[in-house]
Structure 1
Amino acid sequence: MIREERLKLILDFVNEQDYCSNEKISKHLNIPFTTLRRDLTDLHNESKLKRVHGGAKTIREKSILEAFLDEKLLTNIDAKKNIANKALACIKPFETIFLDAGSTTFFLAEIIKPELNNKIYTNSIINAQILAKNGIKDINLLPGKLKISTRAICGVETISALSKYNFDLAFIGINAVDNEFNFFTTDEDEAEVKRIAIKNSQFSFGLADTSKNNSKSLVKFSDKSQIALINEEV
Protein backbone atom coordinates (compact mmCIF):
# COMPACT_ATOMS: atom_id res chain seq x y z
CA MET A 1 0.00 0.00 0.00
CA ILE A 2 1.42 3.38 -0.98
CA ARG A 3 1.84 6.04 1.70
CA GLU A 4 -0.88 8.40 0.43
CA GLU A 5 -3.49 5.62 0.42
CA ARG A 6 -2.42 4.50 3.89
CA LEU A 7 -2.65 8.02 5.34
CA LYS A 8 -6.14 8.48 3.88
CA LEU A 9 -7.29 5.16 5.37
CA ILE A 10 -5.93 6.12 8.78
CA LEU A 11 -7.50 9.58 8.66
CA ASP A 12 -10.90 8.28 7.51
CA PHE A 13 -10.91 5.57 10.19
CA VAL A 14 -10.00 7.97 13.02
CA ASN A 15 -12.57 10.52 11.84
CA GLU A 16 -15.29 7.85 11.82
CA GLN A 17 -14.44 6.77 15.36
CA ASP A 18 -13.57 10.20 16.86
CA TYR A 19 -10.86 8.44 18.89
CA CYS A 20 -8.91 5.24 18.18
CA SER A 21 -6.14 3.46 20.03
CA ASN A 22 -2.96 2.64 18.15
CA GLU A 23 -3.74 -1.05 18.63
CA LYS A 24 -7.19 -0.72 17.08
CA ILE A 25 -5.92 1.23 14.07
CA SER A 26 -3.06 -1.20 13.51
CA LYS A 27 -5.30 -4.26 13.75
CA HIS A 28 -8.17 -2.87 11.66
CA LEU A 29 -5.98 -1.51 8.86
CA ASN A 30 -3.22 -4.11 9.11
CA ILE A 31 -0.47 -1.51 9.53
CA PRO A 32 2.68 -2.33 11.53
CA PHE A 33 3.12 -0.30 14.71
CA THR A 34 6.38 1.30 13.55
CA THR A 35 4.79 2.49 10.31
CA LEU A 36 1.63 3.61 12.10
CA ARG A 37 3.51 5.76 14.61
CA ARG A 38 5.35 7.50 11.79
CA ASP A 39 2.13 8.05 9.84
CA LEU A 40 0.30 9.42 12.88
CA THR A 41 3.14 11.83 13.54
CA ASP A 42 2.97 13.07 9.94
CA LEU A 43 -0.82 13.51 10.10
CA HIS A 44 -0.50 15.32 13.44
CA ASN A 45 2.15 17.68 12.04
CA GLU A 46 -0.13 18.43 9.08
CA SER A 47 -2.96 19.27 11.54
CA LYS A 48 -5.17 16.54 10.06
CA LEU A 49 -5.58 14.66 13.35
CA LYS A 50 -4.32 14.93 16.91
CA ARG A 51 -1.94 12.38 18.40
CA VAL A 52 -2.72 11.57 22.03
CA HIS A 53 -1.22 9.06 24.43
CA GLY A 54 -1.85 5.59 23.05
CA GLY A 55 -3.85 6.68 20.01
CA ALA A 56 -5.24 9.46 17.87
CA LYS A 57 -8.36 11.63 17.78
CA THR A 58 -10.17 13.60 15.13
CA ILE A 59 -9.81 17.36 14.76
CA ARG A 60 -13.25 18.85 14.40
CA GLU A 61 -13.34 21.86 12.12
CA LYS A 62 -14.26 24.98 14.02
CA SER A 63 -16.68 27.56 12.70
CA ILE A 64 -15.31 31.09 12.47
CA LEU A 65 -17.52 34.13 12.89
CA GLU A 66 -16.57 37.63 11.79
CA ALA A 67 -14.62 39.68 14.32
CA PHE A 68 -14.18 43.44 14.15
CA LEU A 69 -11.10 44.57 12.27
CA ASP A 70 -9.76 46.42 15.32
CA GLU A 71 -9.72 43.10 17.20
CA LYS A 72 -8.06 41.18 14.35
CA LEU A 73 -5.29 43.76 14.06
CA LEU A 74 -4.26 42.86 17.62
CA THR A 75 -4.11 39.06 17.16
CA ASN A 76 -1.34 36.89 15.68
CA ILE A 77 0.60 40.02 14.75
CA ASP A 78 3.98 38.32 14.24
CA ALA A 79 2.45 35.67 11.97
CA LYS A 80 0.61 38.28 9.91
CA LYS A 81 3.74 40.41 9.50
CA ASN A 82 5.65 37.30 8.42
CA ILE A 83 2.97 36.58 5.81
CA ALA A 84 3.03 40.20 4.64
CA ASN A 85 6.79 40.03 4.04
CA LYS A 86 6.38 36.83 2.01
CA ALA A 87 3.63 38.47 -0.03
CA LEU A 88 5.79 41.55 -0.64
CA ALA A 89 8.45 39.31 -2.19
CA CYS A 90 5.89 38.32 -4.88
CA ILE A 91 5.41 41.91 -6.08
CA LYS A 92 7.40 43.25 -9.06
CA PRO A 93 7.75 46.87 -10.19
CA PHE A 94 4.91 48.46 -12.17
CA GLU A 95 2.45 45.61 -11.51
CA THR A 96 -1.25 46.33 -11.02
CA ILE A 97 -2.49 44.87 -7.74
CA PHE A 98 -5.80 44.19 -6.05
CA LEU A 99 -5.41 44.43 -2.27
CA ASP A 100 -8.35 42.95 -0.40
CA ALA A 101 -9.69 44.15 2.93
CA GLY A 102 -8.41 42.37 6.03
CA SER A 103 -5.93 42.45 8.89
CA THR A 104 -3.14 40.59 7.08
CA THR A 105 -3.50 42.73 3.96
CA PHE A 106 -3.27 45.73 6.31
CA PHE A 107 0.24 44.65 7.30
CA LEU A 108 1.10 44.18 3.61
CA ALA A 109 -0.17 47.71 2.85
CA GLU A 110 2.26 49.01 5.49
CA ILE A 111 5.33 47.66 3.69
CA ILE A 112 4.60 47.97 -0.05
CA LYS A 113 7.44 50.12 -1.33
CA PRO A 114 6.69 53.35 -3.23
CA GLU A 115 9.69 52.78 -5.51
CA LEU A 116 7.94 49.70 -6.97
CA ASN A 117 5.52 52.11 -8.71
CA ASN A 118 2.55 49.78 -8.40
CA LYS A 119 -1.01 50.73 -9.30
CA ILE A 120 -3.11 49.45 -6.39
CA TYR A 121 -6.86 48.89 -6.22
CA THR A 122 -8.46 48.14 -2.86
CA ASN A 123 -11.88 47.75 -1.27
CA SER A 124 -10.56 48.79 2.14
CA ILE A 125 -10.65 52.36 3.40
CA ILE A 126 -8.05 51.65 6.07
CA ASN A 127 -5.71 49.96 3.58
CA ALA A 128 -6.03 52.94 1.25
CA GLN A 129 -5.09 55.25 4.13
CA ILE A 130 -2.09 53.11 5.07
CA LEU A 131 -0.91 52.98 1.44
CA ALA A 132 -1.14 56.76 1.21
CA LYS A 133 0.79 57.16 4.47
CA ASN A 134 3.40 54.77 3.07
CA GLY A 135 3.94 57.02 0.05
CA ILE A 136 2.12 54.99 -2.60
CA LYS A 137 1.05 57.39 -5.37
CA ASP A 138 -1.40 55.37 -7.47
CA ILE A 139 -4.18 54.25 -5.10
CA ASN A 140 -7.66 53.41 -6.37
CA LEU A 141 -10.48 52.96 -3.84
CA LEU A 142 -13.42 50.96 -5.13
CA PRO A 143 -16.97 52.33 -4.70
CA GLY A 144 -19.74 50.58 -2.80
CA LYS A 145 -21.28 49.99 0.61
CA LEU A 146 -19.07 50.07 3.70
CA LYS A 147 -19.25 47.08 6.02
CA ILE A 148 -18.53 48.63 9.42
CA SER A 149 -17.10 45.54 11.16
CA THR A 150 -14.38 44.88 8.57
CA ARG A 151 -14.10 48.36 6.99
CA ALA A 152 -14.53 46.56 3.66
CA ILE A 153 -16.35 48.12 0.73
CA CYS A 154 -18.58 45.62 -1.03
CA GLY A 155 -21.90 45.21 -2.80
CA VAL A 156 -23.31 45.73 -6.29
CA GLU A 157 -21.32 48.90 -7.07
CA THR A 158 -18.07 47.30 -5.93
CA ILE A 159 -18.60 44.20 -8.08
CA SER A 160 -19.56 46.31 -11.09
CA ALA A 161 -16.45 48.47 -10.79
CA LEU A 162 -14.14 45.53 -10.07
CA SER A 163 -15.38 43.62 -13.11
CA LYS A 164 -13.88 46.28 -15.41
CA TYR A 165 -10.30 45.69 -14.33
CA ASN A 166 -7.59 43.09 -14.88
CA PHE A 167 -4.81 42.71 -12.31
CA ASP A 168 -1.35 41.21 -12.32
CA LEU A 169 -1.71 40.11 -8.69
CA ALA A 170 -4.48 39.83 -6.12
CA PHE A 171 -3.89 39.45 -2.39
CA ILE A 172 -7.02 38.02 -0.80
CA GLY A 173 -8.04 37.93 2.85
CA ILE A 174 -9.27 34.58 4.21
CA ASN A 175 -11.38 33.91 7.31
CA ALA A 176 -11.13 30.12 7.37
CA VAL A 177 -9.26 27.24 5.70
CA ASP A 178 -10.63 23.70 5.93
CA ASN A 179 -8.73 20.41 5.73
CA GLU A 180 -9.16 20.25 1.94
CA PHE A 181 -7.82 23.80 1.50
CA ASN A 182 -11.13 25.36 0.62
CA PHE A 183 -11.20 29.05 1.55
CA PHE A 184 -14.07 30.80 3.33
CA THR A 185 -15.34 34.19 4.39
CA THR A 186 -18.28 35.24 6.53
CA ASP A 187 -20.26 37.34 4.08
CA GLU A 188 -21.66 36.65 0.59
CA ASP A 189 -21.03 40.21 -0.63
CA GLU A 190 -17.37 40.05 0.40
CA ALA A 191 -17.11 36.54 -1.07
CA GLU A 192 -18.26 37.83 -4.47
CA VAL A 193 -15.68 40.62 -4.40
CA LYS A 194 -12.99 38.02 -3.74
CA ARG A 195 -14.27 35.75 -6.53
CA ILE A 196 -14.22 38.57 -9.11
CA ALA A 197 -10.76 39.74 -8.03
CA ILE A 198 -9.40 36.19 -8.35
CA LYS A 199 -11.05 35.69 -11.74
CA ASN A 200 -9.62 38.97 -13.07
CA SER A 201 -6.05 38.42 -11.82
CA GLN A 202 -3.10 36.65 -13.45
CA PHE A 203 -2.01 35.31 -10.05
CA SER A 204 -3.89 35.29 -6.76
CA PHE A 205 -2.57 34.73 -3.26
CA GLY A 206 -4.61 33.99 -0.15
CA LEU A 207 -3.21 35.37 3.09
CA ALA A 208 -4.12 33.41 6.24
CA ASP A 209 -2.18 32.56 9.38
CA THR A 210 -2.38 28.99 10.67
CA SER A 211 -4.88 29.85 13.41
CA LYS A 212 -7.46 29.76 10.59
CA ASN A 213 -6.66 26.15 9.66
CA ASN A 214 -9.12 23.30 10.27
CA SER A 215 -12.06 25.69 10.15
CA LYS A 216 -14.98 26.79 8.03
CA SER A 217 -17.06 29.92 7.78
CA LEU A 218 -20.32 30.84 6.09
CA VAL A 219 -19.31 31.18 2.43
CA LYS A 220 -16.72 29.30 0.38
CA PHE A 221 -15.21 31.62 -2.23
CA SER A 222 -12.23 29.66 -3.60
CA ASP A 223 -9.90 26.68 -3.18
CA LYS A 224 -6.28 25.66 -3.70
CA SER A 225 -6.82 25.19 -7.45
CA GLN A 226 -7.43 28.94 -7.87
CA ILE A 227 -5.19 30.70 -5.38
CA ALA A 228 -1.88 30.02 -3.65
CA LEU A 229 -2.00 30.11 0.14
CA ILE A 230 0.64 32.10 2.02
CA ASN A 231 0.87 31.48 5.75
CA GLU A 232 3.69 31.87 8.26
CA GLU A 233 4.87 28.31 7.61
CA VAL A 234 4.78 28.14 3.79
Structure 2
Amino acid sequence: MLRDERLKLILDFVNDNDYCSNEQISKHLNIPFTTLRRDLTDLHNESKLKRVHGGAKSIRERSILEAVLDEKLVTNIDAKRIIAKKALACIKPFETIFLDAGSTTYFLAEIIKPEFNNKIYTNSIINAQILAKNGVKDINLLPGRLKLSTIAICGVETIAALSKYNFDLAFLGINAVDKDYNFFTTDEDEAEVKRIAIRNSQFGFGLADMSKHNSKSFVKFSDKSQIALINEEV
Protein backbone atom coordinates (compact mmCIF):
# COMPACT_ATOMS: atom_id res chain seq x y z
CA MET A 1 0.00 0.00 0.00
CA LEU A 2 1.34 3.43 -0.96
CA ARG A 3 2.07 5.85 1.92
CA ASP A 4 -0.43 8.52 0.77
CA GLU A 5 -3.17 5.90 0.43
CA ARG A 6 -2.34 4.53 3.89
CA LEU A 7 -2.42 7.98 5.49
CA LYS A 8 -5.82 8.71 3.94
CA LEU A 9 -7.21 5.43 5.26
CA ILE A 10 -5.92 6.19 8.77
CA LEU A 11 -7.28 9.73 8.72
CA ASP A 12 -10.69 8.64 7.43
CA PHE A 13 -10.92 5.88 10.05
CA VAL A 14 -10.03 8.21 12.92
CA ASN A 15 -12.38 10.95 11.71
CA ASP A 16 -15.24 8.47 11.37
CA ASN A 17 -14.74 7.27 14.95
CA ASP A 18 -13.57 10.50 16.67
CA TYR A 19 -11.07 8.46 18.72
CA CYS A 20 -9.27 5.19 17.94
CA SER A 21 -6.67 3.21 19.81
CA ASN A 22 -3.50 2.16 18.01
CA GLU A 23 -4.67 -1.42 18.34
CA GLN A 24 -8.01 -0.65 16.63
CA ILE A 25 -6.33 1.16 13.74
CA SER A 26 -3.69 -1.49 13.26
CA LYS A 27 -6.20 -4.34 13.32
CA HIS A 28 -8.84 -2.67 11.14
CA LEU A 29 -6.42 -1.41 8.48
CA ASN A 30 -3.84 -4.19 8.77
CA ILE A 31 -0.97 -1.77 9.38
CA PRO A 32 2.06 -2.86 11.46
CA PHE A 33 2.53 -0.93 14.73
CA THR A 34 5.94 0.45 13.74
CA THR A 35 4.54 1.86 10.50
CA LEU A 36 1.39 3.13 12.23
CA ARG A 37 3.30 5.06 14.89
CA ARG A 38 5.33 6.81 12.19
CA ASP A 39 2.22 7.61 10.16
CA LEU A 40 0.34 8.98 13.19
CA THR A 41 3.30 11.21 14.02
CA ASP A 42 3.34 12.55 10.47
CA LEU A 43 -0.42 13.22 10.50
CA HIS A 44 -0.13 14.89 13.91
CA ASN A 45 2.71 17.15 12.69
CA GLU A 46 0.60 18.10 9.66
CA SER A 47 -2.29 19.08 12.02
CA LYS A 48 -4.59 16.51 10.40
CA LEU A 49 -5.27 14.59 13.60
CA LYS A 50 -4.12 14.66 17.21
CA ARG A 51 -1.91 11.86 18.45
CA VAL A 52 -2.65 10.96 22.07
CA HIS A 53 -1.34 8.30 24.42
CA GLY A 54 -2.31 4.93 22.97
CA GLY A 55 -4.16 6.25 19.95
CA ALA A 56 -5.36 9.22 17.91
CA LYS A 57 -8.22 11.75 17.99
CA SER A 58 -10.01 13.53 15.20
CA ILE A 59 -9.41 17.26 14.90
CA ARG A 60 -12.82 18.86 14.63
CA GLU A 61 -13.12 22.10 12.71
CA ARG A 62 -12.75 24.79 15.31
CA SER A 63 -14.61 28.09 15.44
CA ILE A 64 -12.00 30.82 15.64
CA LEU A 65 -12.69 34.07 17.46
CA GLU A 66 -10.76 37.27 16.87
CA ALA A 67 -7.66 37.84 18.97
CA VAL A 68 -6.29 41.33 19.51
CA LEU A 69 -3.43 42.30 17.21
CA ASP A 70 -0.85 42.47 20.00
CA GLU A 71 -1.47 38.78 20.72
CA LYS A 72 -1.23 37.82 17.05
CA LEU A 73 2.09 39.60 16.57
CA VAL A 74 3.77 37.32 19.11
CA THR A 75 2.13 34.07 17.94
CA ASN A 76 3.60 31.70 15.31
CA ILE A 77 6.20 34.31 14.38
CA ASP A 78 8.53 31.93 12.52
CA ALA A 79 5.69 30.63 10.34
CA LYS A 80 4.48 34.16 9.58
CA ARG A 81 7.96 35.28 8.56
CA ILE A 82 8.23 32.31 6.17
CA ILE A 83 4.86 33.22 4.67
CA ALA A 84 5.91 36.86 4.33
CA LYS A 85 9.05 35.87 2.41
CA LYS A 86 6.99 33.70 0.06
CA ALA A 87 4.57 36.57 -0.49
CA LEU A 88 7.43 38.98 -1.17
CA ALA A 89 8.62 36.70 -3.99
CA CYS A 90 5.30 37.38 -5.77
CA ILE A 91 5.88 41.15 -5.92
CA LYS A 92 7.46 42.86 -8.94
CA PRO A 93 8.71 46.45 -9.27
CA PHE A 94 6.14 49.21 -9.86
CA GLU A 95 3.12 47.01 -9.07
CA THR A 96 0.16 48.47 -7.21
CA ILE A 97 -0.68 46.45 -4.09
CA PHE A 98 -3.49 46.16 -1.58
CA LEU A 99 -2.07 45.11 1.79
CA ASP A 100 -4.76 43.96 4.19
CA ALA A 101 -4.70 44.42 7.95
CA GLY A 102 -3.35 41.52 10.00
CA SER A 103 -0.32 40.09 11.72
CA THR A 104 1.05 38.14 8.74
CA THR A 105 0.67 41.14 6.44
CA TYR A 106 2.54 43.10 9.13
CA PHE A 107 5.57 40.84 8.62
CA LEU A 108 5.25 41.33 4.85
CA ALA A 109 5.18 45.12 5.33
CA GLU A 110 8.48 44.82 7.19
CA ILE A 111 10.29 43.36 4.18
CA ILE A 112 8.68 44.92 1.07
CA LYS A 113 11.56 46.36 -0.93
CA PRO A 114 11.55 50.18 -1.15
CA GLU A 115 13.57 50.01 -4.38
CA PHE A 116 10.65 48.25 -6.10
CA ASN A 117 8.70 51.54 -6.01
CA ASN A 118 5.38 49.86 -5.36
CA LYS A 119 2.24 51.91 -4.77
CA ILE A 120 0.65 50.37 -1.67
CA TYR A 121 -2.87 50.81 -0.31
CA THR A 122 -3.68 49.48 3.13
CA ASN A 123 -6.49 49.51 5.69
CA SER A 124 -4.05 49.11 8.58
CA ILE A 125 -2.54 52.03 10.47
CA ILE A 126 0.20 49.80 11.88
CA ASN A 127 1.07 48.34 8.48
CA ALA A 128 1.28 51.87 7.05
CA GLN A 129 3.69 52.81 9.85
CA ILE A 130 5.82 49.72 9.25
CA LEU A 131 5.93 50.40 5.51
CA ALA A 132 7.09 53.96 6.20
CA LYS A 133 9.73 52.71 8.62
CA ASN A 134 10.86 50.25 5.93
CA GLY A 135 11.42 53.15 3.50
CA VAL A 136 8.45 52.61 1.21
CA LYS A 137 7.51 55.99 -0.25
CA ASP A 138 4.08 55.56 -1.89
CA ILE A 139 1.77 54.55 0.98
CA ASN A 140 -1.97 55.18 0.87
CA LEU A 141 -4.13 54.70 3.96
CA LEU A 142 -7.81 54.03 3.34
CA PRO A 143 -10.46 56.03 5.25
CA GLY A 144 -13.13 54.52 7.49
CA ARG A 145 -14.00 53.18 10.94
CA LEU A 146 -11.18 51.89 13.11
CA LYS A 147 -11.73 48.43 14.58
CA LEU A 148 -9.79 48.67 17.83
CA SER A 149 -9.02 44.97 18.36
CA THR A 150 -7.19 44.56 15.05
CA ILE A 151 -6.41 48.22 14.25
CA ALA A 152 -8.09 47.58 10.89
CA ILE A 153 -9.95 50.33 9.04
CA CYS A 154 -13.27 49.15 7.63
CA GLY A 155 -16.87 50.19 7.05
CA VAL A 156 -18.83 52.15 4.45
CA GLU A 157 -16.14 54.78 3.74
CA THR A 158 -13.46 52.11 3.34
CA ILE A 159 -15.58 50.13 0.91
CA ALA A 160 -16.45 53.23 -1.13
CA ALA A 161 -12.81 54.29 -1.41
CA LEU A 162 -11.52 50.81 -2.17
CA SER A 163 -14.10 50.31 -4.93
CA LYS A 164 -12.47 53.09 -6.99
CA TYR A 165 -9.09 51.36 -7.29
CA ASN A 166 -7.61 48.47 -9.26
CA PHE A 167 -4.59 46.54 -8.00
CA ASP A 168 -2.02 44.21 -9.48
CA LEU A 169 -1.86 42.19 -6.26
CA ALA A 170 -3.85 41.86 -3.05
CA PHE A 171 -2.52 40.20 0.10
CA LEU A 172 -5.33 39.22 2.46
CA GLY A 173 -5.32 38.21 6.10
CA ILE A 174 -7.25 35.04 6.95
CA ASN A 175 -8.68 34.03 10.33
CA ALA A 176 -9.66 30.47 9.43
CA VAL A 177 -9.36 27.91 6.62
CA ASP A 178 -11.70 24.92 6.52
CA LYS A 179 -11.01 21.49 5.02
CA ASP A 180 -12.46 22.58 1.65
CA TYR A 181 -10.24 25.68 1.56
CA ASN A 182 -12.95 28.22 2.19
CA PHE A 183 -11.51 31.33 3.84
CA PHE A 184 -13.07 33.12 6.80
CA THR A 185 -12.83 36.25 8.89
CA THR A 186 -14.60 37.33 12.08
CA ASP A 187 -16.24 40.56 10.93
CA GLU A 188 -18.68 41.27 8.08
CA ASP A 189 -17.22 44.74 7.40
CA GLU A 190 -13.71 43.33 7.11
CA ALA A 191 -15.03 40.51 4.93
CA GLU A 192 -16.50 43.03 2.49
CA VAL A 193 -13.19 44.91 2.32
CA LYS A 194 -11.44 41.65 1.44
CA ARG A 195 -14.06 40.74 -1.19
CA ILE A 196 -13.69 44.08 -2.97
CA ALA A 197 -9.89 43.92 -2.82
CA ILE A 198 -10.02 40.46 -4.43
CA ARG A 199 -12.51 41.57 -7.09
CA ASN A 200 -10.41 44.63 -7.98
CA SER A 201 -7.06 42.78 -8.16
CA GLN A 202 -5.39 40.85 -10.95
CA PHE A 203 -4.11 38.30 -8.43
CA GLY A 204 -5.10 37.71 -4.80
CA PHE A 205 -3.20 35.84 -2.12
CA GLY A 206 -4.45 34.71 1.28
CA LEU A 207 -1.85 34.49 4.06
CA ALA A 208 -2.54 31.96 6.82
CA ASP A 209 -0.25 29.80 8.94
CA MET A 210 -1.13 26.17 9.61
CA SER A 211 -2.65 26.93 13.03
CA LYS A 212 -5.62 28.45 11.16
CA HIS A 213 -6.33 25.32 9.12
CA ASN A 214 -9.20 22.90 9.84
CA SER A 215 -11.24 25.73 11.31
CA LYS A 216 -14.08 28.12 10.58
CA SER A 217 -14.96 31.62 11.68
CA PHE A 218 -17.95 33.94 11.42
CA VAL A 219 -17.90 35.09 7.77
CA LYS A 220 -16.68 33.37 4.61
CA PHE A 221 -15.13 35.90 2.24
CA SER A 222 -13.43 33.76 -0.41
CA ASP A 223 -12.28 30.28 -1.43
CA LYS A 224 -9.49 28.55 -3.34
CA SER A 225 -11.09 29.39 -6.71
CA GLN A 226 -10.57 33.13 -6.10
CA ILE A 227 -7.28 33.50 -4.27
CA ALA A 228 -4.10 31.47 -3.80
CA LEU A 229 -3.26 30.38 -0.27
CA ILE A 230 0.24 30.94 1.06
CA ASN A 231 1.20 29.12 4.26
CA GLU A 232 4.54 28.03 5.71
CA GLU A 233 4.33 24.64 4.00
CA VAL A 234 2.99 25.35 0.50
Question: So what's the TM-score if we normalise by structure 2?
Answer: 0.87
Q: What is aligned with 1:79? A: 79
Tell me what 2:129 maps to: 129
How far 1:3 moved relative to its partner?
7.7
Q: Quick one: distance in 2 between partners of 1:214 and 1:54?
A: 23
Deviation digits for residues 142-165 of structure 1 (CA, Å, limit 9, x no counterpart): 121111111111111211221222
Amino acid aligned to 1:162: L
Q: Figure out how many residues of one structure are paired with residues of the other and give that number.
A: 232
Give the match for residue 47 of structure 2.
Answer: 47
For 2:75 and 2:12, how far apart are their aligned partners in 1? 33
RMSD: 2.4
Instruction: Look up the equivalent residue of 1:184 and give its one-letter code.
Output: F
After the TM superposition, which of the residue ranges 72-81 and 32-41 deviates more from structure 2? 32-41
Q: CA deviation at 1:41?
A: 5.3
Identify if the C-alpha distance between structure 1 residues 51 and 67 changes in structure 2 by more than 3 Å, giving closer, same or farther: closer
CA contact (8 A) 1:48 1:179 kept: no
Q: Distance in 1 between matches of 2:196 and 2:131?
A: 22
- In 2, the alpha carbon distance for the partners of 1:209 and 1:25 equals 30
- Aligned residue for 1:33? 31
Q: Does 1:161 align with 2:161?
A: yes
1:114-133 Cα distance to aligned partner (Å, 9 max, x none): 11011111111111122122
Q: 3-state DSSP class of the match of 2:220?
A: strand
Cα 1:226/1:2, change in 2 over 3 Å: farther
CA distance in 2: counterparts of 1:46 and 1:70, whole angstroms: 27
What SS does structure 2 have at the residue aligned with 1:206?
strand
Q: Give the gaps of 5 or more residues in structure 1.
A: none
Q: Distance in 2 between matches of 1:33 and 1:73?
A: 42
Partner of 1:94: 94
Q: Which runs of 5+ in 2 are unaligned?
A: none
Could you tell me which residue of structure 1 aligns to residue 63 of structure 2? 63
Rounded to whole Å, the distance in 1 between the matches of 2:179 and 2:3 is 18
* Aligned residues of 1:186 and 1:218 also touching (Cα < 8 A): yes
Partner SS state of residue 33, structure 1 = coil
Percentage identity across paired residues of the two chains: 85
Amino acid at match of 2:31: F
CA distance in 2: counterparts of 1:23 and 1:57, whole angstroms: 14
SS in structure 1 of the partner of residue 115 of structure 2: helix
The answer (yes or no) to whether the contact 1:181–1:224 under 8 Å persists in 2 is: yes
Q: Deviations over 1:18-37 (max 9, x none)?
A: 11234444655xx3314983
Q: For residues 44 and 67 of structure 2, what CA distance do their matches in structure 1 show?
A: 28
Q: Is the 8 A contact 1:22 1:33 kept in 2?
A: no
| Aligned mates of 1:74, 1:41 — CA distance in 2 | 27
How much does 1:99 deviate?
0.1
CA distance in 1, matches of 2:92, 2:217: 33
CA distance in structure 2 between the partners assigned to 1:3 and 1:135 by the alignment:
48
1:16 aligned residue:
16
Give the superposition deviation at 1:72: 1.6
Normalising by structure 1, report the TM-score: 0.87
Q: Distance in 2 between matches of 1:225 and 1:195?
A: 13
Aligned partners of 2:18, 2:7: CA distance in 1, in Å? 16
Secondary structure, counterpart of 2:191 in structure 1: helix
Q: Distance in 2 between matches of 1:182 and 1:21?
A: 31
* Contact 2:25/2:31 (8 A) holds in 1: no
Moved more, 163-172 or 69-78: 69-78
Match of 1:205 in 2: 205
Residue 109 of structure 2: aligned partner:
109
Q: 1:14 to 1:150 in 2, by over 3 A?
A: same
Shift of 1:75: 2.1
Distance 1:24 1:76, change over 3 A: closer
> Hey, what's the Cα distance between the residues in 1 that align with 2:116 and 2:225?
29
Aligned partners of 1:56, 1:72: CA distance in 2, in Å?
Answer: 29
